[in-house]
Structure 1
Amino acid sequence: MAAKTPQPERMINLLALLVQRAQPLTLKQIRQELVNQYPDGDSAARAAFERDKAELRALGIPMDMVTLGGDKAGEGAYTVDRRQFEIGDLGLNEAERSALQMAIATVRIGASHGDEALWKLGGERALDRPSTSVNIQMDDKQMPALAAGVVEHRTLKFLYKGQERQVDPYGLLSRGGFWYIVGFDHLRNAQRVFRVDRIDGEITNGDAQSFSRPEGFDLAKAVPTELDLLAEGDGDDAVAKVLVDAALAQRVKAEFGDGAVLRERSDGSIEFAIPCANLSAFRIWLFAMVDRAEVLEPPRVREHIVSHLQKIALSN
């Protein structure tokens, strides 16, 4: 049976597996750990693995191969030393982080170097399309526990919104500037999505292979889309009218659909109705277009954007 795991998800799991293991792993061992994520046939699995390896190396993540000895003499094994590619804590304050977030979003448009830096900082890098998001706050203390839970099928325990949660983690994904863990929540007796930065305190792991991921589970569909993220929030205004320059208007139209179009101007620019209840996500989305997008209304949202830009300018 062919592997059903999307390549981006499989790459994240592969990287997490190799980063947390002190000893190099052979492809056979990797396939045993990442159950059903590579094709069953040896040739097909090798081809898929080589594609993953090439993509990770293209992102600047050095995956080293060592030749084993002893009873595995001559066999290749793979390892990743996170110290060779991770950027350490930059010690940024909130204003500096906001400025960097805006700068990286700007560099992202049509620039692979921005994507590479994004990945190293813990952000999302979609392999088949540009990303409009960045999250540089992934806690190093959380990643090993989360990755082990997903890769080794270990039940996680953590405090979330003041409640003790016990979760069978099906997948880990970064989207819209935040990391999400998706899994079966024993407290609610149903599948739930948890934002990682809202987990309080330490995450503990149960025994390996303590649960099975549902057949046909689709991580990408389980996590809210960027449109959903923009709409999820407690802002006073639900929708903003945004004018997008002709150079980017068709891309935004393709992203949000014809239903979001309010008016197409003769110069090629388009006025859109964009969800903005989540002001933080909306701000990141807007800033990615730099001076090619403008909030027209409502006044409260426009004033919020102008005020935020003024604060960034004053802090530099």
Structure 2
Amino acid sequence: MDKFTRLLNLVGLLQQSPTALTFAEIRERLRGEAYPQRDPESARRAFERDKADLLDMGVPLTVIPEQLDGSTTTYTIERRSRAVRDPGFSTEELGALHFAAAAMSLRGRDDATLTDARDGLRKLGGLGGESPERGVGELRLDENLTTAFTAIVEGGAIGFTHSDRTRMLRPHQIVARHGHWYLHGFDLNARAERTFRLDRIEGAVLPLPEEVLEEAGAGDPGRVASLRFRPWEFGTGEPLDAEVRLDAPAAAVALATDPGLEVLEESGDHVVLGLAVRNRAALWQWLLTFLDRAELLAPPELVEQFCAHLESMSSPEVTP
């Protein structure tokens, strides 16, 4: 058995055991695979090394000497020592964490991300009443997205096949819209800006060597790389045209994060933005990040629904 597996088994055993265990009991319950019975001295040395490693890693392993003569020592990982400590979040802070967890499920090869976030919030007391079973938006993370984002960060180029044509792109921006990732950049073949939907790329996205970038030309070096998404646009159906007023500091943050937002009105102390809203829950989350610096102006039906949402947040929950 390799050391990593042995450490995992030891931690699992000590966490699950209702009582502290002696070294002999540990060897027996791990069936001799971790600390073989045939060589007690080597087994003991291996256990002592494992114990020291766990303590160095911060695992709260407790050593309990036998109270009478000290001849028998037991070991445990007490439940209270590994429990999540209350960080002291206020109701409003827990509500914000709840919305953040529900707003987006960024997924890799499995569906565990949102579940893990909800489990963590439940332990903190941040889930009360009814909670949506699904997030307001769902985007997958895969190797192609990782490769494209790495190229953006490093200023490199990528190659891929799209619509049966080989493309060489210096990517500048990844945008999430309507539940899909879009890749925007400078097409080194066409010598022009192009946008590609990531899930329509055929096969793998590959990083191109630096010499390819030099031969083809850098292309629009003044562009600022970014990754952004507008979760309120996710969904189907016709969007609602919403108007949101932000004070000057909040508007500066919003426009710095997403310079492409539509500005309907601008003055010295505020900015009015136009948003195409398909997902109202996602819009609520975005507005709440600005607290009282944001005001939903139109349309009336959306304003009414947002007010009802705020009232539901402030209403005390009744626990049966």
TM-score if structure 1 supplies the norm length? 0.36
Larger Rg, first or second structure (1 or 2): 2
The structure with higher relative contact order (CA 8 Å, sep 6+) is 1
Bigger proportion of residues as strand? 2
